[in-house]
Amino acid sequence: MKYYGDLRSFITALDEMGDIMHVHREVDGDFEPSAITRRSYEIQSPAPLFHKVAGVAPGFRLFGAPAALSSRSDMPYARVAMSLGLAPESTGPEIIEALSAARFKPGIPPVRVESAQAECQQNILRGAEANLDRFPIPFAHDKDGGRYANTWGTLIVKTPDGKWVNWSIARVMKVDGKRMVGLIVPSQHIGQIWTQWVARGEPMPYALVQGPAPAISCVSGIPIPANADEADYIGTLAGEPVPVVKAISLDLDVPATAEIVIEGHVSIERDCQEGPYGEYGGYLGEGSSAQPTFHVETITHRHDPIWPMSITGRPTDESHTLWAMGLAADALTYLREAELPIKTTWIPEDSTVHWLLVVMPENWRERLPGVSSEALTQRIGEVLFKTDAMVFIPKVYVVDDDFDPTNLREVVWALSTRVHPVGRRAVFEDQRVIRLPQCYDEAEYVAGKGAKVVFDTLQTKRHLHASFAQGYPEDVRQRILDNWPE
């Protein structure tokens, strides 16, 4: 296992395992980098690194699909695992266990270094020079409201009293060279902090960090408890403190090895239209909403900087790998804290974060004596739907552990044969609903409330599978394997 302290060493490691696609020809500055990245997701190719983008200075690069499925079929989650300092062959459930376990360990706070030691401040742009037009920011999709300046970067903000520093990912659209507009959801952590600044009547200081250590990008995109500092959690995953440096113009610390840092303030009003944007559900966006303006005041960057991007849409991109794993780890943590004997949790990539599987071990009835599967299903829903992260998940399936939840073919088989057409489910009415999940109607989006469901697919008696593994004697199977593929 190895922790990569900056984006460049991570790209080098991916390149050595054949998981980088170098694009040396000049690509246009509008759609071509995004379209290539989107196709790379859909055919599971190596991650594209664009060395020459029209309209920007030589040396400025784009990097797509940083945490998507790997092109290596023998290690499909390698990009996510390596980002977090885990072995590239780690399975999805192993990654989820690591994310959940780190929440119970003491955090390792970041360590501040001097500006001269911080690669992110090799170049400092102020005033008119601090302009987004010099960077290769493409359109993500042709129906989007503008170029999206943030799809895989980390937004750093803190409460006015300085007690809580939040590192998160939120989509941010470029308006012009000096302005951006970001989606600020009140229930999310960045929205809670922005609301505190609004109450004071002061614009919120922010730093938008592009291309930090991969673990920073990953952790910024997953749920951890409010008032917990992501930097400390990342230190725990890395086993070492994150090096940070004081921002040039703000009282914020930023990752010292980042590629690019944009500094400024966020307006106290929703005074600019943001969107539409093609989101993780797999559909092109429609409509826009009034959101706060991010004013650009100072920009720092490394020599020949790399701007990473996630082009969300149909599976499988970072929303369906890293973010889904983070949501599953959050669910696993809360269910185990409720003393339920959960084996693992999993969000199938192809469900676009609309399904959560809660996997029960074969002996769960012995560990929960007197508890029926109906009561267990109800309890799981009661625990999960109180958590913030589950606002994104409308459907939960409680399943046995006799199949591989990360294998979509097995998931479809199990759910198709075990979900009752009418009964065996717990419906939770009037749950929080936001617009990102695709399965609700307009009235529910307007009300902010809708139903969620937990399906009970647990077998009262486990049936043997008509499969190679379970349908034949062991000696026959071994003889066939020894002679395969004669």
Q: Which among 99, 344, 318 is positioned nearest to 225, based on CA atoms?
A: 99
pLDDT at res. 325:
97
String of DSSP letters for 136-157: ----SSTTSSS-EEESS-EEEE
Q: 486 pLDDT exceeds 80?
A: no
- Encode burial over 74-112: b for 16+ CB neighbours within 10 A, e otherwise: ebbbbbbbbbbbbebebbbbebbebbbebbeeebbebee
Q: What is the mean pLDDT of residues 321-347?
A: 97
H/E run at residue 354: none
Q: What is the mean pLDDT of residues 231-250?
A: 96
CA distance to 396, 408, 463, per residue, from 460 (Å): 19, 23, 9
Distance of CA 110 to the CA centre of its chain: 22
| Fold (CATH) for 338-456 | UbiD C-terminal domain-like (3.40.1670)
Q: What is the pLDDT of residues 267-320, one digit of tens each?
A: 999 999 999 999 999 999 999 999 999 999 999 999 999 999 999 999 999 999
- Which of 32, 119, 279, 349 is an active site residue? 279
Residues 6+ apart with CB under 8 A from 16: none
Active site (annotated) includes residue 114: no
Q: What is the mean pLDDT of residues 68-97?
A: 97
| Cα distance between residue 427 and residue 410, in whole Å | 25
pLDDT at res. 485:
86
Helices (H), 56-188: 78-83, 92-102
Q: What is the pLDDT of residues 94-146, one digit of tens each?
A: 999 999 999 999 999 999 999 999 999 999 999 999 999 999 999 999 999 99
Question: What is the rounded average pLDDT for all residues in the chain?
Answer: 96
| Fold (CATH) for 7-309 | Pnp Oxidase; Chain A (2.30.110)
Q: What is the mean pLDDT of residues 216-239?
A: 93
pLDDT at res. 227:
83
pLDDT at res. 187:
84
Domain locations along the chain: 7-309, 338-456
Quickly state the pLDDT bin for 2 (edges 50, 70, 90).
Answer: very high
Q: 432 pLDDT exceeds 90?
A: yes
Quickly state the pLDDT bin for 225 (edges 50, 70, 90).
Answer: confident
Quickly state the pLDDT bin for 387 (edges 50, 70, 90).
Answer: very high
Q: Which among 444, 353, 339, 440 is positioned nearest to 396, based on CA atoms?
A: 353
Q: What is the pLDDT of residues 149-177, one digit of tens each?
A: 999 999 999 999 999 999 999 999 999 99
